[in-house]
Each structure stands twice: as C-alpha cells, then as structure tokens.
Amino acid sequence: MQHEEAPLESLATDAPAPRPRVVALLNQKGGVGKTTSTVNLGAALARFGHRVLLIDLDPQSNLSLHFGVEGSPEQRTVRDLLLDPSCGIDDVVQQARPGLDFVPAVTELALVEGELAAMDGMQGVLRGKLESARGRYDVVLLDCPPSLGVLSVNALTAADEVFVPMQAHYLPLRGLEKLLQTVHLVAQGLNPSIRVTGILLCMHDGSSSHARAVIGEMEAQFEQFRAADVPWSGACVLQPPIRRNIKLAEAPSFGKTIFDYAPACPGARDYRELARGLLERWSLSTDAFDGGPVRRARAARRAAPTSESKPTSAPRRKSTRTLKSVPKPKSRSAARPAPKPKPVPKRATKRATKPKPKPKPVAKPARAAKAPRRARTGRGRIRSGGLSL
Ligand SMILES: Nc1ncnc2c1ncn2[C@@H]1O[C@H](COP(=O)(O)OP(=O)(O)O)[C@@H](O)[C@H]1O
Ligand SMILES: [Mg+2]
C-alpha cells in the first residue's frame, strides 16, 4: 500500500503559533509594587521590541491609570473576558503604546470571584482565553489582585512563571510562605509546569541592614530547595532590585509609564535592566532599546554636558493627570527646561560636569565605618520560620 505524504503547506499551517510567555506578578499583600512593575516592566519589554500584553486582574483597576486611559461604560473589560464565553482577547484589548496592549479591569471585578466560583472549570478560564494570544504576543504580564482567591488562581493556572514583587522586610518574608503554598497547590493539579522565577524587590533601600539581612535569609532559604521537586527550586532574588524612586510614584498621575515620564531616572534604569536580564534568560532579543527617549536623552546629555543631571524629556506643563488632587510634582526637571545654553561661570561648569558631587564628605568615613557592622549582623538575625511546606 502506498503511503500518502501530507503536503508541506498543510504541515506548516498545522503547527500552532508559539504561546506567549505568561508571567503572574503575585503577592497577596497590597501596595508592594505589583502594578508599578507590571506597567513599567511591560513598557520596557515593549521598548526592547517585543509584543507585550498586560492584563489587570485587580478590582482596584489601577493599571489603566498608568496609561492615562479613562474607562467608559461601553468598554469591555477583563470581567467580560472571564465571564462571557463568547468574549475573546480581541474584544477587550486596548493599545497603550506601540507594542504594548492591555486589558483593563473594573471595580466590580471583586464580584467576579463569586460568579467565577459557580462556573465549571473556573480556574482555567483565563488560560483558555489566552490561547488566542498565541503568535500575537511574546510576553503576557498578569497584574494580580492582593489576595489568593479565584482570580489569582486563574492567573497561576495560566502562568508559566511567577514573580513576587515585595519589600525586603521581615513581615513580607513571612507572607511568602503562604504564597508559595498556593503556588504549590496549583502546581500539584491545575498547572504542573508553573515555576516561581523569583522575588522582585520593589521600593528597595539597599543601604538598610535589615533589607540585606532579609535578602540573605531569602537566598539561604531558596538554596535549601535547589534539589527539591517544588515550583520554587530555581527561585532567586531578581536583579536589579527596583530602588525606591519618587518618579515611579509620580508617573501614573500624569498617565505615563516611567519611560515616558522620566526615562533617565533610577526607576527607569532599574526596570530597563530587569527587562534586559529577563529577555536574556528567555533567549529573546535585547538588541535595541527602541532608539527612543533613553537613547535620545543620553545623546542630548553627551552633546550638552551642562544639562547632565536632567532628563531631556521633562514633564510637559500640560499634564494628562486624571487625579486632580495629586499635587504637581515639584521636580527640578519639571521646573526648568533641559538645555542650558547660557555661558556658565567656571566653577559652576566644573560642578555640573562632575558625575556625583558629594556635598558632605564627612558622611563618608562614618558610612564606611558602619558597613562591616551591618554585614556582620546580616543573615543570622532574621527568622523566617522557614519556607518548608
Ligand atoms: N520603586 C518605587 N519607588 C517609589 N514608589 C513606588 C515604587 N514602586 C511602587 N511605588 C508606589 O507604591 C504604591 C504601591 O505600588 P503599586 O504598584 O500600586 O502596588 P500594588 O499593585 O502591589 O498594590 C504606589 O503609589 C506606587 O506609585
Ligand atoms: Mg495593584
């Protein structure tokens, strides 16, 4: 009997388009940096040239504010996506920036937990809907609510990886245990391939000895699970930590990502480098960071050394703020235009071109003297209670 070969074209079209990498940013605690990280990590990945989708699963629906997008009653949201079987990603997605789309949430999302709970296979709804994102996005970031309820379980069922945004403090470290237990439960049934990639330190203060002690404890705990069959066996503290930077808190009040608002600030640098590290880990390209604001700012600084410390794209006067009560940030960059064409006296020029002026040299020896003491008090003092399950 002659064997019939399938035509090559049909083989090609039968192969499913690649599934995007799906990452849940999860922490049952609020105010730890989940939304800020979803938005600005997403924006950085998009500026590296990748197609990114952000999904807001938090009833506080803060994500849209970062893009200056006001919700309208007709607009369909993640609630429709989860509850209406005929609603797909295309019906709810909005473009925030080139290469960066998002699905908005609504405050009634809090009620969705109850409605979802009544549905068959409710934990897998989001995973099913993300099938239509195949071939259209490279990365999907899920901004989870501050709870470990049905919405977070949906995110974990859909996700390949979990990032845990948190501060390097003692109490959040204790909360991590509960979070890992939830991921473990999901891995035992709904999504065996889920992995906890690591801790994303937000609002980080690297000069605090307590923070260093907590990080040391986290790393030591993760080290104990390297050979274990648990989703966090490969977990680490992601680098770099995101420093506390007020520009990150100001940006959403202008409806901007940090790359639109202050592309040269420490917050923008941290999210860009975090994105670069992740793309390398995922074997995705890091060739170009869009040739956009950061590169332009660098070029402008090189051309005009007197404006070195200022972002060239200073926030515009006419803001797109949606929160009227938010006072206009009084940043130096907002108050002054970036270039300084005026001739500057010699001493001033010298100061402006110095990379890091240290007005109080007295503080230096004091710091240096304290450092070893901090290091010695490091690990041993924090008791996490262990991350064992
Ligand atoms: N690195 C940071 N530096 C300064 N403020 C930050 C930083 N990250 C987040 N914030 C601010 O902290 C608050 C909580 O952050 P958010 O991302 O909304 O947390 P979550 O989504 O976990 O509730 C917000 O006001 C945000 O602007
Ligand atoms: Mg949030």
Phi, psi dihedral angles at 186 (to 5 degrees) = -65, -40
Residues having CB within 6 Å of any atom of ligand 1: 30-36, 62, 146, 202-203, 242, 244-246, 248-249, 267
| Four-way CATH pick for 16-281: 3.40.50.300, 3.40.50.720, 1.10.10.10, 3.20.20.70 | 3.40.50.300
Question: Comparing 171 with 191, which gets the higher pLDDT?
Answer: 191
Of 141-150, 262-271, 353-362, which gets the smallest average pLDDT?
353-362
DSSP class of 204: B
Of the listed ligands, the closest to the CA of 29 is: 1
pLDDT at 119: 83
Q: In this structure, what token pair is assigned to residue 43?
A: 């924006």
Q: Calculate how far, in angstroms, residue 32's C-alpha sits from the geometric centre of ligand 1.
A: 6
Q: How far apart are CA 336 and CA 331, in angstroms?
A: 9
Nearest CA to 92 out of 118, 53, 127 is that of 53
Ligand 1 pocket test: which of 27, 55, 109, 202 has the largest number of ligand atoms within 8 Å of its C-beta?
A: 202
What is the residue with the minimal CA distance to atom 26 of ligand 1?
Answer: 249
- Which atom belonging to ligand 1 lies closest to the Cα atom of 32? 22
Of the listed ligands, the closest to the CA of 274 is: 1
Neighbours of 325 (CB within 10 A): 6
Strands 100-103 and 94-97: antiparallel
Of the listed ligands, the closest to the CA of 63 is: 2
| pLDDT single digits (tens) 44-74 | 999 999 999 999 999 998 998 899 877 777 8
| pLDDT single digits (tens) 117-169 | 888 889 999 999 999 999 999 999 999 999 999 999 999 999 999 999 999 99
What is the residue with the minimal CA distance to atom 20 of ligand 1?
Answer: 31
**Would you state the torsion angle of the CA atoms of residues 92, 65, 164, 180, taken in this order, to the nearest 10 degrees?**
-60
Q: In this structure, what token pair is assigned to residue 293?
A: 């604001």
C-alpha pair distances (Å), 138 with each of 213, 286, 287, 331: 36, 13, 15, 36
Nearest CA to 160 out of 174, 132, 141, 181 is that of 141
Question: How do the domains of the chain map onto residue ranges?
Answer: 16-281
